[in-house]
C-alpha cells in the first residue's frame, strides 16, 4: 500500500517549501498523493496541481482554518471551491484580520528596535503571513536561536509580541467549507487538551454543522492515540484522515509523509475522503 500526506503547508502560508517544491519532495519520497492545506488560503493549489500532474502524483486541494471555540480549534477543508462566493468572502475576511494582526506585530517589534516592517514581511511572504514567518525573520536577525525559540520568548501567547486575531466561530467555519462543496475535517484532535467527553462535545457540535471527517493519524501521535481516534471516527461515522502538518524549516522536526518518524498514512484513507467529497 502506498502512502500519502493530507496536511501540508507551503509558502502560500507559513511553510518554507513552495507549492512546486512540496510536490517534488512528495514525489521523491514516493508518496502517491498529498493535500496542500495552507492557513486561510488556497493560493498555492494551482501551482501544486500543475507540478503534480507533471509528476503523476495526486493533488488534493485543501485549506486549514483556525476557529474560535474557547481555545482555537483547527478545521481542515478538502476540495472546497475557492471561488464559491460565501467561502471566498469568509477567506478574504480572515486574510484581512490576519493582516491587521501582522501589521500590529510588526509595529510592536519595530517600536522595540527590531528591524522588521510590515512592508518587508509582506513583500517576502505574501498576503497570508503567519507567526512562523515572524519567527523565521527573528532567527535570521539573531534575536532567536530557532523558530521554536522565537515562539517561546516572543510570539507565543503570553509573550511580548503575541497579538490575537479575530477568527470565525467553529460552527460557521464548518458550514462555509460545506457550502463551498468541501469536506470539513477536525484537525489534530489531541492538540486541544480535551478529555474524551470534551472531544465528543466538540465532534458533536461540529457534526451538527456538517463535519464529515477527523484527522486520526498525525505527527507524534502514538499508536494508542491513533487507535482511539480511529475508533471514535468509526463510532461517529466520520472519515479518518491523516497528515504530517509539514511546514518545512519552520517545523524542522516534522518530515513530510513520516512526521516525527513513525507516521504512515495509507492511500486507502484518500478513498474515504473522496467518497465524502463526491457524496
Binding to Zn ion (CB under 5 A): which residues in 237-276? Answer: 245
Rounded CA-CA distance 123/103 in Å is: 13
| 148 touches ligand AMP by CB under 6 A | yes
| 188 touches ligand AMP by CB under 6 A | no
Q: How far is the CB of 109 from ligand AMP (least distance, A)?
A: 14
What does 242 interact with, of ligand AMP, Fe ion, Zn ion, none (CB < 5 to 8 A by kind)? Answer: none
| 151 touches ligand AMP by CB under 6 A | yes
Rounded CA-CA distance 76/211 in Å is: 10
Per-position DSSP letters for 70-87, written without gaps between them: SS-EEEEEES--TT-HHH
| 156 touches ligand AMP by CB under 6 A | yes
| 14 touches Fe ion by CB under 5 A | yes
Per-residue binding letters, 165-194, with Fe ion (x by CB under 5 A) = ----------------------x-------
User: Grid coordinates 472519515 are at which residue?
Assistant: 239
| 215 touches Zn ion by CB under 5 A | no
Exposed/middle/buried for residue 193 (C-beta within 10 Å: 0-12, 13-18, 19+)? exposed
Nearest to ligand AMP of 159, 222 (CB atom): 159
Binding to ligand AMP (CB under 6 A): which residues in 193-252? Answer: none
| 38 touches ligand AMP by CB under 6 A | no
| 276 touches ligand AMP by CB under 6 A | no
Rounded CA-CA distance 189/205 in Å is: 14
Nearest to ligand AMP of 132, 212 (CB atom): 132
Beta-ladder partners of 218: 243
Please list the alpha-helical segments (H only) found in the chain. 19-29, 45-55, 85-111, 118-125, 131-140, 147-150, 170-179, 196-208, 223-235, 268-278
Residues in the interface with ligand AMP (CB under 6 A) total 9
Rounded CA-CA distance 210/196 in Å is: 21
Residue nearest to Fe ion (CB): 74
User: Grid coordinates 469536506 are at which residue?
Assistant: 183
| 74 touches Fe ion by CB under 5 A | yes
4-8 sheet: strands from edge to edge: 4-8, 33-39, 58-67, 73-78, 183-186, 213-218, 239-243
| 5 touches Zn ion by CB under 5 A | no
Nearest to ligand AMP of 143, 212 (CB atom): 143
Q: Applying CB under 6 A, which residues contact ligand AMP?
A: 14, 39, 66, 130-132, 148, 151, 156
Amino acid at each position: 500500500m502506498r502512502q500519502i500526506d493530507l496536511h501540508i503547508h507551503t509558502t502560500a502560508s507559513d511553510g518554507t517549501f513552495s507549492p512546486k517544491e512540496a510536490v517534488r519532495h512528495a514525489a521523491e519520497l514516493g508518496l502517491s498523493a498529498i493535500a496542500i492545506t495552507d492557513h486561510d488560503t488556497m493560493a498555492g493549489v494551482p501551482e501544486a496541481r500543475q507540478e503534480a500532474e507533471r509528476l503523476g502524483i495526486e493533488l488534493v486541494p485543501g485549506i486549514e482554518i483556525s476557529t474560535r471555540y474557547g481555545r482555537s480549534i483547527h478545521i481542515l477543508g478538502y476540495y472546497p471551491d475557492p471561488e464559491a462566493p460565501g467561502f471566498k468572502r469568509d477567506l478574504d475576511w480572515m486574510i484581512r484580520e490576519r493582516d491587521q494582526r501582522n501589521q500590529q506585530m510588526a509595529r510592536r517589534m519595530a517600536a522595540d528596535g527590531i528591524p522588521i516592517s510590515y512592508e518587508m514581511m509582506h513583500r517576502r511572504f505574501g498576503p497570508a503571513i503567519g507567526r512562523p514567518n515572524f519567527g523565521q525573520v527573528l532567527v535570521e536577525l539573531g534575536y532567536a536561536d530557532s523558530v521554536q525559540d522565537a515562539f517561546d520568548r516572543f510570539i507565543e501567547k503570553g509573550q511580548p509580541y503575541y497579538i490575537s486575531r479575530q477568527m470565525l466561530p467553529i460552527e460557521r467555519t464548518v458550514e462555509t467549507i460545506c457550502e463551498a462543496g468541501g469536506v470539513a475535517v477536525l484537525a489534530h484532535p489531541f492538540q486541544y487538551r480535551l478529555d474524551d467527553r470534551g472531544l465528543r462535545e466538540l465532534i458533536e457540535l461540529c457534526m451538527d454543522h456538517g463535519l464529515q471527517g477527523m484527522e486520526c493519524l498525525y505527527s507524534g501521535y502514538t499508536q494508542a492515540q491513533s487507535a482511539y481516534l480511529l475508533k471514535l471516527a468509526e463510532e461517529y461515522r466520520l472519515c479518518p484522515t491523516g497528515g504530517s502538518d509539514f511546514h518545512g524549516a519552520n517545523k524542522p522536526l516534522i518530515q513530510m509523509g513520516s512526521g516525527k518518524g513513525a507516521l504512515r498514512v495509507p492511500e486507502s484513507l484518500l478513498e474515504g475522503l473522496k467518497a465524502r467529497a463526491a457524496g
